[in-house]
Structures are given as structure tokens and as C-alpha cells.
Structure 1
Amino acid sequence: MLGDFHVHTQYCQHGADDKMEAYVLQAIEKGFTHLSFTEHAPLPESFTDPAPHRDSTMDRNKVEAYVMEGKALQKQYKNDLQINIGFEVDYIRGYEQETQTFLDMYGPEMDDGILSVHMLQAPDKSFFCIDYSEEEFERAADAFGGLTPLYKAYYGSLQASVEADLGHFKPKRIGHITLVQKFQLAYPKPADFSKEQHLLLDLIKNKGYELDVNTAGLYKAFCKEIYPPAELIAYAAKTGIPLVPGSDSHAAGGIGKGFEYLSDYSLHLPQRLTL
């Protein structure tokens, strides 16, 4: 295994307090050669975090400290580990310009990045963080008028994220594309969305983007599978989409967790974002 390319830090307001160096030491101990820090980028300034505790991302005032700490670790461990500094960026429909403004500002500092959908706007204009909790997911489904329209909105937003113009520093890896299934054992998938999923993967392929193969879902009580599951990973691999492994770890001990389930796949290093 080359490395873990979806990792959060102490700057995440809903993660552990483990310092970035602790993640680095874990990666080295596991024999990895690469590690990408992809902290949740701050949400657009005009957008209100819909999560109950408003803790979805890092504090905007700590972005500089995060980048500086990452760069210091790059120098300190340059002979032991290729450390990438980047962000997991939320795609939120209607906030593309503010998102691009952030990327234009910090893109030159980014080695790697992920573009993900966590936030969806319901027909009544309210927003929901769909992966926050089982209760919030139920509230979102009610606001959308059921699970089927919620799923359709999720895949529609993912497709829009791939197609969106977010400037030169737009992340080229699409994150956990079946996150909407995080609570599937409590709220079973209401229909077959393979058409939407395959369309999404075809868009990713046509754009020359990468797929986040994310093991975090294996350890979620109501998911118990990789994001995305095996049949979609196989489809992506068949079409030639680069598969980039990520634990989505929010604690140092989670580095590489579940990667033994990825041994059958041909995995890739991410594209360098600043090239």
C-alpha cells in the first residue's frame, strides 16, 4: 500500500485532538510512503453550517496555522514520508464563486485535494448535513419528501460538482460518492440508483478525475461497506478511473484502517494539484 490520501487532523472541529505529527508517525509505522492531509476546508463565509453544532469544518482563522504546521512536517520527515497538504472541499450548489475564491487563495499551497458533497438544500431552501447523524438524515429525508428525492438530490449535486468550474485549483478527486448510504441499515436504499452512479463515474472518467476509495463506511454502524461498494469500484476500475485509497481518518489510530479490504484493487497515487 502506497499511502493514505484522505486524512483529517486536530484542526477538524468534529475529530480527535491528535496532532498532525501523530498521524505522520502512524503512517511511517505502517510502512506507508505517502500521506495526504485533507482537512475540511472552511465553508463559504455567507453559508451557515447546517450541522447542529456547526462543527463540519475547520475554523477559517486556523487555515494558515494548518498549512504552516503541515509544511514544517514536510521538511522534518522528508526522508521518511511524502507528505501532501490539502483540503477536502465541500461542493455546495449556489456557492461556487465563494468556493473558487478560497481555492484561488490557498490553491498554490495545496499538494492534494478532495471535492465532496455533504450539504444538500431541500425544496423548502433549508440545508442539511446528510452524514451528521441518523436523526439528521431522517430530518433531511422528511424535508425532501422521502428517501428517493433525497438520493436523487445527492447524486445530482455530485454530478454538478464534477461539472462545476471552480478554477485552476479545483480538486480532481471526488470524495466518498455513496456517502448518502451511510445510514442504509437503518434507512434502506429506496431504489436502484446504479444509473445515476454509472453516469457519475462516466463524468469522472471524462474529466480525467480520480475516485476516493474510502474505507470509513466499513466502520459506520449503519453502513458497513466501503464508499463506494465493490461493484462500483469494479466499474470505475474497468473504465480506467484512478482509484486513490483513503481512510477518512479523524484520529491518528485510523490511518490505513480497513486497507486490507482494498488488496484486490490496483491503487494509484493522486495527481499533484499544484502542477
Structure 2
Amino acid sequence: MIKDGHIHTPFCPHGTQDPIESYVERALSLGFQEISFTEHAPLPAGFMDPTPKRDSSMNIEQLEDYLNKINKVKSVYSGKIKINTGLEVDFIEGFEKETKQFLNQYGKYLDDAILSVHFLKFGNRYNCLDYSPDVFGQMVELNGSIEEVYRSYFKTLLQSIYCELGPYKPKRIGHMTLVKKFQKRFPVNLDFTHEIMEILKAIKVQGYEIDYNGAGFSKPLCKEAYPPDWVAEKAVNLKIPLVYGSDAHQTKELGQGLNMMPLWKGNR
């Protein structure tokens, strides 16, 4: 089964206004048999989005419209392609209780979901890891080195895997090497094999999946999948399911990176 398990929609304020139907038509033209719309879930109550435009996710007031829209599209394309109603949920250190409450309320409406780390905590402040090279540079200054940003990211990612978020906790870990998005401007001197293997073993123990994300290929300062080939191969050896995700924020991005990812045929 050919599946794209990570697609965004016009409900994403930092995406485009491409209609949801256009993503479905694109998926059909590429031969996909299943897709998951995984829009950024509303951020936890009390959390202040640190991005300049505060546009990291939809507002809670939009969530019902989003769910209804996906359900309507599912009905229109019934029998042609399997469409999953989903969300990409942020794990934010310090907001575990609020995230669990959100999932307990809305998880029953979801067919699929991703758990991702975008925000890292530094003292009493948060930064969005993948917002821009300049913000990443500020994070390097705050932490003292690029390596410390990596350590913070992988530590938070490990926390997300083991955190108890209730029965509706997403079982797929999103773009697990997102910290490498700006690696060509901020090269790191360590490979972090130990930390990555620890994360893979945790995913295996928990029985989770990995978002095998092709978006990194289109990022000029990354140019590799999240995770890269060697990590994906380790995951396969551990019998961890890889689920291809385009992480498309516009119609033309659906399927991005797919032909450059040697293990994509292992998708569920």
C-alpha cells in the first residue's frame, strides 16, 4: 500500500490556500492508495507561540471546521482512495497535561496522528527549532554551541516518546531529525549516533512508527530525509515501521523526496 501519512491543508496559517481536494487529486495522480491529513493541532492552552507571526498552528476555534471538512472530502472520494482524518500534535516540555487533555477530548475523532517536536525550552523561554536559520542561530547562542541544541532536541524527543499522554497519544514520531534542517549553515561535529539509537530503541519498545519524511530534500540547507538513510536502515533492522510523509504544505509538494528515499517501499 502506497501511503502519504503527513499532509497539511489550507488550515495551516504558514502554508498555502491550495484546496484540500487538490491534494487528493494529486495523490491519486501519483498512485497513492492512502493519505493522512495531519494539520498542525492547536497549541496547548497557555502556551504562547514564539514565532514572529504566531502562525505555527490553526486556532482551536478552527478545529471543528477542519474535522468536518476532512470528513466531507472522505465522503466525496470514498472508494477511490483511503483518507484519514489526522493531526500533527506538538510535544512541548512543560505542557504535557494540557496536551493530554486536548487528546482526550479530540483524539476519538482522529484516524491517524503524528507526535512532533518543534519547540525547545531554554530556561523560561521557548524557540521554534525549524522556523528559520536566524532563529536557529539564536538558539545556538543561547545554548553555547550547535551540539547543545542537538542534545536538547534529542532529549526532548526522547521525553515525547516516553511521556504518558493518554489513550489517544499519536503512535508515529514526526521527522525525528528535524534538528538537521539547517545543517549546511550550522554543521555539527558529532554524529549523535548514541542519542539516535537510544531514540530508535525507545520507539521500538513503545511499539511506535517513524515518519519517513521527504521534506528535508527540498530544504536548501538540509538536502536529506528526516531521518537520513543510515537511521532509516537502523529502524528497518529493528523492525520499526516507516511511514512515508511528504509533509506537504502545498499541493505540488505531495510526493516530495519519495524517489530519493530507498526504503519508501517499506511504508505501511
| TM-score after normalising by structure 1 | 0.95
Aligned partner of 1:39 in structure 2 is 39
Q: CA deviation at 1:117?
A: 0.3
Cα shift readout 1:32-86 (whole Å, capped 9, x = no counterpart): 1101000000111100001111111112111000000000111110110100011
- Secondary structure at the counterpart of residue 87 of structure 2: strand
Q: What does residue 139 of structure 1 align with?
A: 138
Q: Tell me which residue corresponds to 2:159.
A: 160
Structure 2 counterpart SS, 1:37: strand
Matched residue type, 1:138: G
Amino acid at match of 1:198: M
CA contact (8 A) 2:225 2:261 kept: no
Counterpart of 1:51 in structure 2 is: 51
Specify the SS of the correspondent of 1:212. Answer: strand
Structure 2 Cα separation of the partners of residues 170 and 210 of structure 1: 12
Q: CA offsets per residue over residues 193-216 of structure 1, 9 Å max, x none?
A: 010000000000010000000000
The answer to whether the 8 A contact 1:3-1:27 is kept is no
Alpha-carbon distance in 2 for matches of 1:136, 1:239: 35
- Structure 1 distance, partners of 2:125, 2:258, is 37
Q: CA deviation at 1:229?
A: 0.5
Match in the other structure for 2:232: 233
Match of 2:2 in 1: 2
Output the CA distance in 2 between the equivalents of 1:168 and 1:32. 29
In the other structure, the counterpart of 2:92 is 92
Please report how far the alpha carbon of residue 266 of structure 1 lies from its aligned counterpart in structure 2 after TM superposition. Answer: 4.0
Q: Distance in 2 between matches of 1:191 and 1:262?
A: 24
Does 2:191 align with 1:192?
yes
Which amino acid letter does the alignment assign opposite residue 165 of structure 1? E
- Which deviates further from its counterpart, 45-54 or 141-150? 141-150
Is this contact kept in 1: 2:40–2:87, CA < 8 A? Answer: yes
Letter in 2 for 1:161: S
Offset from partner CA, 1:197-252 (integer Å, 9 cap, x none): 00000000010000000000001010000001000000000000000000000001
In 2, the alpha carbon distance for the partners of 1:37 and 1:103 equals 17
Aligned to 1:259: 258
- Alignment-derived partner of residue 177 in structure 1: 176
Letter in 2 for 1:230: D
Q: Deviations over 1:112-162 (max 9, x none)?
A: 000000000113x21100100000000111112221211111000000000
Contact 1:40 1:89 in 2 (8 A): yes
- Conserved in 2, the CA contact under 8 Å of 1:243 and 1:266? no
TM-score by length of 2: 0.98
Q: Give me the identity figure in percent.
A: 43
Q: How many residues were matched structurally? A: 268
Read off the aligned partner of 1:163 and give its amino acid letter. Y
Does structure 1 conserve the Cα–Cα contact (< 8 Å) formed by 2:3 and 2:267? no
1:92, CA displacement in angstroms?
A: 0.5
Provide the C-alpha distance between the structure 1 equivalents of 2:221 and 2:174, rounded to a whole number of angstroms: 19
Secondary structure at the aligned position of 2:28 is classed as helix
Report how far residue 19 of structure 1 moved: 1.2
Give the structure 2 partner of residue 60 of structure 1. Answer: 60
Which segment is superposed worse, 83-92 or 146-155?
146-155
Counterpart of 2:217 in structure 1: which amino acid?
A: L
Unaligned runs of 5+ in 1: 270-275
Paired letter, 1:55: D
